[in-house]
Structure 1
Amino acid sequence: MPPNDASNGAGTAPITHSTATATATGESLAGSVLDAGSDSEDTLELRLPDELIALLEEERAELDRTQGRLKSTASPAVGPSAGDDLLDGVAGWGPTDTPAGVFQLVPVRVERDLALVSRWMNDPAVAAFWDLAGAQSVAEHHMQNQIDGDGRSVPCIGMLAGNPMSYWEIYRADLDPLARHYPARPHDTGIHLLLGGVADRGRGLGSTLLRAVADLVLDKRPACARVVAEPDLRNMPSIASFLAAGFRFSAEIDLPAKQAALVVRDRSLRHLL
């Protein structure tokens, strides 16, 4: 699992993550009996109080109403495949204004973008964190696996003022191996970033774009309450960029390929940080 980096770069390979839930209602317990003994016909009926049953039904109805509102306000998916629905149509998010200029995420087309991304990956400063240096086939395999997947991770080129200058991966953190290493919540959305040009690093551009993209995620994904990232603990400039972009440090986590800083941008705090 390559690490995440705001100034050099990082990436993860999402996999299916499923959870199981179970609920109990008063109705399911109302008929339960316990034998008082092998020689006794007495039974004890266990039943939830009517007040508790009513409260559970009220909470379930409120949850149904909340989910209905989220579905009605969610942006329609616009993207290269039906699987892109998992991220609410990254391809259709459109441009956004930033202090550095107009920025837009454009989903990768391998035939168009491979040479550029591979060149970025072979920059020694980038290769130290992404581990995707080498022949073009290395970067091609990494991106094509995501494009051919079910849409839980979308590789993108970052266009600033019309110029390709960064590589991004927007991914469902709750469906990624990362979810095994922190208390993930449904629809947590992750960010990986690589700034391609040396001239774009070390001058605050990373934090500017991270803030803009995190805001895009929260604006376009109504069900997402948190944007997360996991930069390598060794990469202090990257961590500093995330913090300057309104993320908060949450925890140190041990991942298979690195020790990482889990950073989080909360919807509820987005206008305060």
Structure 2
Amino acid sequence: MPPTDASTDAGTESAASGADCADTLDLRLPDELIALLADSDGRADTADNDLLDGVGGWGPVTTSAGVFQLVPVRLARDLPMISRWMNDPAVAAFWELAGPEDVTAAHLRTQLDGDGRSVPCLGVLDGMPMSYWEIYRADLDPLARHYPSRPHDTGIHLLIGGVVDRGRGLGTSLLRDVADLVLDHRPSCARVVAEPDLRNTPSVSAFLSAGFRFSAELELPDKRAALMVRDRALRAVL
């Protein structure tokens, strides 16, 4: 089962530290952006090697927050930044991947070396990597044992990387945008689902504000979760 969701809009209320800025601002250079979007290793970045209708090929979309794109993770390129995010106490409390880079690397490799049912991605906003996402087949995940799943149910996990991007509604906006991406590019998917920790009330609130409905409480092996569902049929009204 993919890990518990980190806070979307939650986080400390202090200003971003220098380390937070280093995670993001040093990747604004054009060469870095070109490298980020390039399909140089031909494995996790291809659009046709997953069970999710090619997440890597969904392309950029214009959102209320800016131009956003999901870019499949490449371990050699992205591990240091994702590991730093995982060691933020606000993130570590829910993802439980704090520690040396090997901890995060093992979590990523499980997905990258798998059959394509879960795709780890960076969320790139206006050319800047600022979030980490996991798009996964919930109907093929152990999660499906705990709720009445339907074929092609698609799950999402999100963490916002920098403190400066938390607590201002950005997570809510991007949750809606990514759910729309899933529904636009996966015509066989009737529902987008998520299972944030019930203790993570800012995350649950962000999902509700993004058009998800609370469906049930789930007793999962590692947490008590809120099953959140965004239905294709209700997309226009929620």
Q: What is the letter of the counterpart of residue 226 of structure 2? A: A
Match of 2:46?
80
Match of 1:242?
207
- Please report how far the alpha carbon of residue 80 of structure 1 lies from its aligned counterpart in structure 2 after TM superposition: 2.7
Asked if 1:176 corresponds to 2:141, the answer is yes
Give unmatched runs, 5+ long, in structure 1: 10-77
SS of 1:87's partner is coil
- Please report how far the alpha carbon of residue 5 of structure 1 lies from its aligned counterpart in structure 2 after TM superposition: 3.2
Q: What is the letter of the counterpart of residue 4 of structure 1? A: D
Asked if 1:202 corresponds to 2:203, the answer is no
Whether the 8 Å contact between 2:61 and 2:69 is mirrored in structure 1 is: yes
Q: What is the letter of the counterpart of residue 131 of structure 1? A: E
**TM-score of the superposed pair, with normalisation by structure 2:** 0.83
Match of 2:5?
4
Asked if 1:226 corresponds to 2:227, the answer is no
Match of 1:149?
114
- Please report how far the alpha carbon of residue 271 of structure 1 lies from its aligned counterpart in structure 2 after TM superposition: 0.7
Whether the 8 Å contact between 1:226 and 1:267 is mirrored in structure 2 is: yes
Measured against aligned partners, the alpha-carbon deviations of 1:72-121 in whole angstroms (never above 9, x if no partner) come to xxxxxx9537541x100000000111111010000000000000000000
Match of 2:177?
212
SS of 1:241's partner is helix
- Rg bigger for which structure? 1
Whether the 8 Å contact between 1:8 and 1:125 is mirrored in structure 2 is: no
State the Cα RMSD in Å. 1.5
**Greater than 2 Å deviation, 4+ residue runs:** 78-83
Match of 2:88?
123
| C-alpha distance in 1 between matches for 2:216 and 2:6 | 16
Match of 1:111?
76
Q: What is the letter of the counterpart of residue 130 of structure 1? A: W
User: Of 126, 131, 147, which aligns to 1:166?
Assistant: 131
Match of 2:30?
none
| C-alpha distance in 2 between matches for 1:4 and 1:158 | 15
**Residue correspondences, number:** 204
Asked if 1:100 corresponds to 2:65, the answer is yes
Match of 1:132?
97
Match of 1:39?
none
Whether the 8 Å contact between 1:230 and 1:261 is mirrored in structure 2 is: yes
Measured against aligned partners, the alpha-carbon deviations of 1:26-82 in whole angstroms (never above 9, x if no partner) come to xxxxxxxxxxxxxxxxxxxxxxxxxxxxxxxxxxxxxxxxxxxxxxxxxxxx95375
Q: What is the letter of the counterpart of residue 94 of structure 2? A: F
| C-alpha distance in 2 between matches for 1:79 and 1:138 | 22
| C-alpha distance in 2 between matches for 1:158 and 1:229 | 17
Match of 2:19?
none
